[in-house]
Amino acid sequence: MRSKYQSPLCGRYASAEMQGIFSDDTKFSTWRKLWVALAESQAALGLNINDEQIEQMKANIHNINYERASEIERETKHDVMSHIKAFGEQCPAAAPIIHLGATSCYVGDNTDIIIQKSALLLVKKLLVNAVYELYKFAAKYKDLHCLAYTHFQSAQPTTVGKRACLWIQDLLFDLEQLDFILDNLKLLGCKGTTGTAASFLALFDGDHDKVKQLEQMIAQKIGFDSNKIYPVSGQTYSRKIDYYTVSVLCGIAQSASKFSNDIRLLSHLKEIQEPFEDKQVGSSAMAYKKNPIKSERIASLARYVMTNSLNPALTASSQWFERTLDDSANRRIAIPEAFLAVDAILSLMINISGGLIVNPKIVEKRLEEELPLMATENILMHCVRKGGDRQELHEQIRLHSMEETDSDLIERILNNPAFEFTKEEMDSILNVEQFTGRSTQQCEEFLSYVKAILDNNHGLLGIDVEITI
């Protein structure tokens, strides 16, 4: 029986790797690593903490007694205190010094930053691989002319590759923002109940230098540079940091949704389709259907991420003085689920981009059908240069365009003596390359720029994504 609700983000969409980053095992083992780092640093700075105590703690970092912690929490109504006591029961020699001088946010907030950093690194890997798949696609189709659309109405032609460059550029904007956030992410450090570090100053008999060293030593032990610590805080780090992190995810969701919407429209036109598996069923009733369900899923999940980004914004704005607890329940849901959803979105994007199906004949046919209308201005200018009356010829073209049936506009113009047009002249004007401007060259130039970014992130390339439909 499956009698309890399970989040679809875990059961259906997000990868095991991203779920692992936000798992209880990761969270509580990180708490214990932070307690070890605190004790080791305090011992190195002269507090009475011995090797036996530290070794007992290290031996139980991953041996988390969940049932005992839950039992204690039912009594204490305090999650951090329950894990301190449960950890202490496993390492009795260390029990008196676990969490010495710290407040709950020492483990809670520092762990949140460590986990967000790990999650952002995975998002970066996915993002770089999505760019790579689209890079290959754009390079392959840089010369394939296609109809462009403004307002989803026929417009001056472009190339399939050039259009893909627009998708890539959006993702590169996101990559730039993600790198900025990663470079500037810092630990809370150990600042005590209101951010003043008073408890640690008392432990070290008023020695300010030792208190500062304590933070730096902990940061290094936990994998951060010694200067990657927020210089001031209340009890928590500023909740604006969560907003900045989730805003990056929101930006990725925007880019992916735009991509997925374009694919859905192109799928309707039958110009480009997302990959469709051999035994995949498009409709329970209409057996011929090839619905773009992966692109639709991107759009659906992206909408969730974009609206979810309001949560950390409201949380950051509503904090009182040095801390208030109305952030806690919201953050437990909003931050992990934003990462899980973006993990699913980028996995889908990699899958789709790596298997896009282009139908060149349909692309070319649609362009041929619409090209005469786009060529009318060129026809008009050509005839004026030969001595024609611009206003009269414009009226003739307008009338022919209104009367056009079965795409016979060019034939009507050729048969109109007012234009004095030869078939050879018309063929020259209808050469599609005269209408696509620098699209191919822009694609080539842009992809050179993209290649440099991919080369700089070469170590992230290569990822297997598993999509559950």
325-369 per-position pLDDT tens digit = 999 999 999 999 999 999 999 999 999 999 999 999 999 999 988
Residue 13: its pLDDT value, please?
95
Burial-class residue 233 by CB neighbours within 10 Å (0-12, 13-18, 19+).
Answer: buried
More confident residue, 373 or 220: 220
Distance CA 116, CA 110 (A): 10
Cα dihedral 11→12→15→17 (10° resolution): 0
Distance CA 345, CA 342 (A): 5
Distance CA 413, CA 397 (A): 7
Using a pLDDT cut of 90, give the percent of the chain over it: 78
Burial-class residue 372 by CB neighbours within 10 Å (0-12, 13-18, 19+).
Answer: buried
Average pLDDT over residues 121-144: 98
Residue 287: its pLDDT value, please?
45
Residue 280: its pLDDT value, please?
56
Residue 353: its pLDDT value, please?
97
Using the predicted structure, report yes or no on whether residue 1 has a pLDDT greater than 80. no
Average pLDDT over residues 450-464: 97
Give the phi and the psi of residue 457 in degrees, each rounded to 5.
-115, 30
- Confirm if 124 and 175 have CB atoms less than 8 A apart: yes
33-87 per-position pLDDT tens digit = 999 999 999 999 999 999 999 999 999 999 999 999 999 999 999 999 999 999 9
Average pLDDT over residues 215-242: 97
Residue 284: its pLDDT value, please?
46
Tell me how far the alpha carbon of residue 303 is from its chain's centroid: 13
pLDDT-wise least confident of 268-272, 278-282, 287-291: 278-282
Average pLDDT over residues 394-423: 77
Burial-class residue 23 by CB neighbours within 10 Å (0-12, 13-18, 19+).
Answer: middle
Residue 339: its pLDDT value, please?
98
The domains located in the chain, with CATH, are: 20-100 (1.10.275.10), 105-142+154-358 (1.20.200.10), 362-430 (1.10.40)
Using a pLDDT cut of 70, give the percent of the chain over it: 96
Residues serving a catalytic function are 151, 283
Amino acid letter for position 455: D
**Helix (H, G, I), strand (E, B), or coil: what is residue 229?**
strand
Residue 404: its pLDDT value, please?
57
What one-character-per-residue DSSP string does 115-177 give? HHHHHHHHHHHHHHHHHHHHHHHHHHTTT-EEEEEETTEEEEEEEHHHHHHHHHHHHHHHHHH
Using the predicted structure, report yes or no on whether residue 452 has a pLDDT greater than 70. yes
Average pLDDT over residues 456-465: 96
pLDDT tier for residue 286 given thresholds of 50, 70 and 90:
low
Which residues, in sequence order, are CB contacts of 90 under 8 Å at separation 6+? 56, 60, 63, 65
Using the predicted structure, report yes or no on whether residue 170 has a pLDDT greater than 70. yes
More confident residue, 377 or 103: 103
Residue 281: its pLDDT value, please?
53
**Helix (H, G, I), strand (E, B), or coil: what is residue 187?**
strand
Residue 467: its pLDDT value, please?
86
Average pLDDT over residues 203-227: 97
Residue 387: its pLDDT value, please?
82
Residues 389-395: contacts with CB within 8 Å, 24+ apart? Answer: 392/418, 393/418, 393/419
Provide the terminal-to-terminal Cα distance of the chain, rounded to the nearest Å: 22
